[in-house]
Amino acid sequence: MKAKVIVMPKAAVLDPQGNAVRDAMRHLGMPEVGSVRIGKYMEIDIEGHNADLESRLHGLCRDLLSNPIIQDYELQKGEDWNHKKTPNAELRKSSRAGSFREQGAQRPTSNVEHRQSKTKRKRKSSG
């Protein structure tokens, strides 16, 4: 049997990592992004099946995989989860091999590169 666990910060908890990703997305041309929440996703393969398995899994999710004070978890179980694959999974695999340049699109700029170019522009304009 397979189990999937999704752990997310509770809605009332500040998510600074999610806020940083949201701000970066807005900076990179997606001003429509309202909010981003960052969590964890786990797949667990389990051998066998008995009556108390689900309650034991919930106990592990609560006590080990999440912090119940600041996080919620969702436990999904079953064998037929393959239908939930991302439609563009194959496209993403090919884009990891440097397809930005092959397609003529501009390579995304890292924060460090952005700051360096900003500093260079300031120096040119002041000097």
Model pLDDT for residues 8-67, shown as the tens digit of each residue: 999 999 999 999 999 999 999 999 999 999 999 999 999 887 878 889 999 999 999 999
Most confident segment among 41-45, 92-96, 119-123: 41-45
117 within a domain of the structure (yes/no): no
Domain that holds residue 34: 2-81
What separation in angstroms does the CA of 89 have from each of 37, 40, 56, 98, 117? 21, 19, 33, 16, 33
49 within a domain of the structure (yes/no): yes
15 within a domain of the structure (yes/no): yes
Q: How many domains does the chain have?
A: 1
Q: Are 27 and 10 in contact (CB under 8 A)?
A: no
66 within a domain of the structure (yes/no): yes
Look at the pTM and tell me if it is higher than 0.85.
no
108 within a domain of the structure (yes/no): no
Mean pLDDT of the chain: 77
CA atoms within 13 A on the CB side of 5: 20
The pLDDT assigned to 38 comes to 97
The pLDDT assigned to 20 comes to 97
119 within a domain of the structure (yes/no): no
Alpha carbons 64 and 58: distance in angstroms, whole number? 10
The pLDDT assigned to 97 comes to 45
Place 116 in a pLDDT band, splitting at 50, 70 and 90.
Answer: low
22 within a domain of the structure (yes/no): yes
One-letter amino acid of 81: W
Alpha carbons 4 and 2: distance in angstroms, whole number? 7
The pLDDT assigned to 89 comes to 44
Q: Which CATH number covers residue 16? A: 3.30.1280.10
Four-CA torsion 53, 77, 58, 55, nearest 10 degrees: -30
45 or 99, which is more confident: 45
For the chain, how many helices (H) and strands (E)? 5, 3
